[in-house]
Amino acid sequence: MVDTPWRAIFLVGFVLGSLIRWYYARGHRRTRPARRFSGAVDTVLVLLAGVGLMLPVLYLPTHWLEFADYRLPPWADLTGGLLGTLSFAAGLWVFWRAHAELGRNWAPSLTIQPNQALVTGGVYRRVRHPMYAAHALWAVAQALLLRNWLVGPAFLIAFVPFYLVRVPREERMMIEQFGERYRAYMRRTDRLVPSPGRRSTKEDD
């Protein structure tokens, strides 16, 4: 196994991200959703993304998959490690804020919660899907910090089809629930990355 300080940084970030999810997911299983929109495709994509996300848990403490390890020149190792650290830090901050602002409106699957509210403030002011943005940053960090051809890009590879299929379905679900309010929100926001020239409006408050 390639022994680098970036592995330790990734592990710290992974633990922090897991704690954020655990904290805000407490008691969620006791809440029965008002409506479900999940299907077989959604379940498969979630499982694949989960495998990509959890693969480091099996890789880091063992010699499993070390045959796919690789080394980089010192300058590339430092550059990739710093970029990966910044990506993970940014992703964790967005992950935390998205959970905090959604509160009980958050769900791991495509469901409408009882008394579901349309959250448009905070990190949702200019981006409709900051939770997915956070996972994208996490996936990039995993690819940059773990020097393994299989484990490093695993989450990113699984995340791409998950995002491409899940987000349009989620937006259709929100339109069905909130109608013109959500369409107006879509017109003044971006999906994943905020456009530099786009400004929020008073409607977002």
Kindly state whether residue 59 falls inside one of the protein's structural domains.
yes
| Inside any domain, residue 33 | no
- pLDDT tens digits, residue range 148-188? 999 999 999 999 999 999 999 999 999 999 999 999 999 99
Phi/psi region, residue 117 (left: phi>0; alpha: psi -120 to 50; beta: rest), is: beta
Per-residue pLDDT of 25-81, as tens digits, reads 876 655 565 555 667 777 888 899 999 999 999 999 888 899 999 999 999 999 999
| For helices 151-178 and 40-59, angle between their N-to-C axes, nearest 10 degrees | 150
The parent domain of residue 125 ranges over 5-27+38-204
This model's pTM is above 0.75: yes
CATH of the domain at 164: 1.20.120.1630
Residue 71 lies in a domain: yes
Residue 106 lies in a domain: yes
> What average pLDDT does range 82-93 have in this prediction?
98
Per-residue model confidence as pLDDT tens digits over 95-109: 999 999 998 888 777
Q: Is residue 152 part of a domain?
A: yes
Buried b (16+ CB within 10 A) or exposed e, 140-152: bbbbbbbbbeebb
Residue at 66 is within a domain: yes
In-domain check, residue 94:
yes
Q: How many CB atoms are located within 10 Å of the residue 63 CB?
A: 9
**Enclosing H/E stretch for 112:** strand 111-112
| 9 CB neighbour count, 10 Å cutoff | 18
Residue 195 belongs to a domain: yes
Overall number of domains in the chain: 1
